[in-house]
Amino acid sequence: MDALIVTLPGDGIGPEVLASGQRALDAIADRYGHSFHYDQQLIGGAAIDATGSPLPDNTLASLRDCDAVLLGAVGGPKWSDPNASVRPEQGLLRLRESLEVYANLRPVKVSASLRDASPLKGELLDGVDMLVVRELTGGIYFGEKTQTPDAASDLCTYTRGEIERIVRVAAKLAGARRGRLCSVDKANVLATSRLWREVVNSVMADEYPAVELETLLVDAAAMHLLSRPKDFDVIVTENMFGDILTDEASMLAGSLGMLPSASLGDSTRGLFEPIHGSAPDIAGRGIANPCGMLASCALLLRHSLGLDEEAAALEDAIEKAVASGARTADLAAPGSTPLSTDAMTAAILKFL
């Protein structure tokens, strides 16, 4: 297979982990006889510095002919003024809109060898294997915003169609897994959540009666993620709730650096990125955890390129490397010597 992948290193540790991702994709290409080509472009703070825009026209143009997009991270203290008219995060939101990706898939699977890395009791972590499906292009992040010196507002809106399409994505995934879907909302307070719940109940009853549906308020879901995480199969929720809950769920896996994500729409062209941020406090030190990026590359192979065997091989290599004791600083036990980003990447690729 020949494939063109747009790479967006971005800011902070983004370039470091993206370099590891390309090493992994090249290793897969060599082993399985594929040819992956890369088109590196600017996004985020790096793009602001170079062009004045967080998503330049050249980056937007590169998206038209690519098969997938691989992103490092955006943002950092240099561009963190909330009153600035141009901010790195604007580039990420516009990127999602431009790609028309509305379903953000965030798998959370706990490796038995990382039980001690999580702050939770080990017995709560056995068997944890969930998938959070986050609606990505609606809600309060994209609503109209106003601000004066004394007041501010963010409008949260959802349409029936937006909710229906994300619920169908989640329900299909649940049907292919363990057959359980948990919908998370705040219907006791928010009108958008009352519509969300109504639409979820209707779609599930009419189209997916074989999938077991559970409904939780977001505050209860946050509690149950920590008290009974193994009970969850697929979780579907709106944009902001999904953003917050998946950062919480990363503690189940031991570190934010372990978790990947795939943002998908109606075509096979997707956006793939680790869920961690730009981590400016460790940028340039060569100690970032590449596992989330490599797992995101596996999702790219599976969802955009249709290479299931290759994706599984990369995921298996990550699991075997971690099980062998390979650890970056975010996972290392006190007194142990952690691996650098490059050394951790090499340790994983040995298991391909």
Residues taking part in catalysis: 141, 186, 219, 243, 247
CB within 8 Å of 202: residues ≥ 6 apart: none
Beta strands in 16-143 (DSSP E): 35-40, 68-73, 103-109, 129-135
CA 330 to chain centroid: 18
DSSP structure class, residue 49? H
How is the beta sheet containing 68-73 ordered, strand by strand?
Answer: 35-40, 2-10, 68-73, 271-274, 260-264, 103-109, 129-135, 234-237, 180-185, 212-217
Burial group, residue 116, by CB count within 10 angstroms (0-12, 13-18, 19+): exposed
Burial group, residue 225, by CB count within 10 angstroms (0-12, 13-18, 19+): buried
Find out whether 104 and 134 touch, Cβ atoms under 8 Å: yes
Find out whether 283 and 324 touch, Cβ atoms under 8 Å: no
Comparing C-alpha atoms, which of 249, 233, 235, 346 is closest to residue 294? 346
Tell me how crowded residue 127 is: count the other CB atoms within 10 A of its CB: 11
Q: Which two tokens stand for residue 49?
A: 């510095």
Comparing C-alpha atoms, which of 133, 35, 49, 141 is closest to residue 92? 141
Residue 217 vs residues 42, 220, 222, 228, 238: alpha-carbon distances, Å: 39, 5, 9, 15, 12
Burial group, residue 205, by CB count within 10 angstroms (0-12, 13-18, 19+): exposed
Find out whether 246 and 256 touch, Cβ atoms under 8 Å: no
